[in-house]
Structure 1
């Protein structure tokens, strides 16, 4: 029996295969995903639910679904999340299950942009998904991007850097690695991973 989130067992046309993009904090997952969204409307990208407050410029329903702790608890209790995790020892993030299943049923290239904990959960629930690790050109560049973002307090930055060290060590768990030196190039490589036949990946 094919899991509802797996691609076709025989590799035939119809349902698409789920692609999961993960990587350390501040590596640019959101920026790469935004580039794909802007230049490849055929690609469906999941919008995660989160209990954290919006950053400047973030729009509910576009960047994230900003929900209360009570609403997040309800989504967990009613099995509405494909995966969820507490990130950076603070807010919770999760992937609503229904929209992912609908996109795959429609045969659209579908992608989750999530954290490492979430990617590990999806590997258990959808082992046929294709897992892509986004990494920085160097540790120094990752630190520069995080500090340059200016959206976190010094304590939050240190907490995220501690998380990033652990996340970078998980690269070997993934099917493919993309180095995010330039966003357009990284985004195009990601789209190629999503649209290439499974046996060619």
Structure 2
């Protein structure tokens, strides 16, 4: 009976989700200011970033709030990330990206099934030219509804990574390509973009 009582007492704590502690706001703002001076920040996203930062402080154990915080950091750094595979990010911008990666990893550790966190982490690696380590995260995203919006993002990034890592003959990549090409003809959101990408992948996967 004593053992059962101890089990019931400690289990909720053992199973509790890990809370997320973002970097101090003053330090984050300093990084953003310096990265902004280098043209690496989309200033239109800063108000949204402030809101997401406040939300994650309020609910530091919420997997979705942690994910949203990482996502807005990634979105805010798109001007820098757009050319990060060819041009190295500045120190402050890299620290912001590290903070986004930390958020995604925390969300995944709380819920490995969080497909969108896996997708965004894989995308973040791809944007930095780290194609060799994005695969497992994008594959997790491919477990989401086939042909859906999130699945299309994951599939596109997966095929991109396959092309850069010369894995285009592997069966698992070819299978995703066939499905991606099929759904690119039927999706309504970003249809033109996906059809264009499907056309580009022809030379790699056929």
Q: Same fold (TM over 0.5)?
A: no
* Bigger Rg over Cα: 2
Normalised by the size of structure 2, how large is the TM-score? Answer: 0.27
Q: Which has the higher strand share?
A: 1
Normalised by the size of structure 1, how large is the TM-score? Answer: 0.28
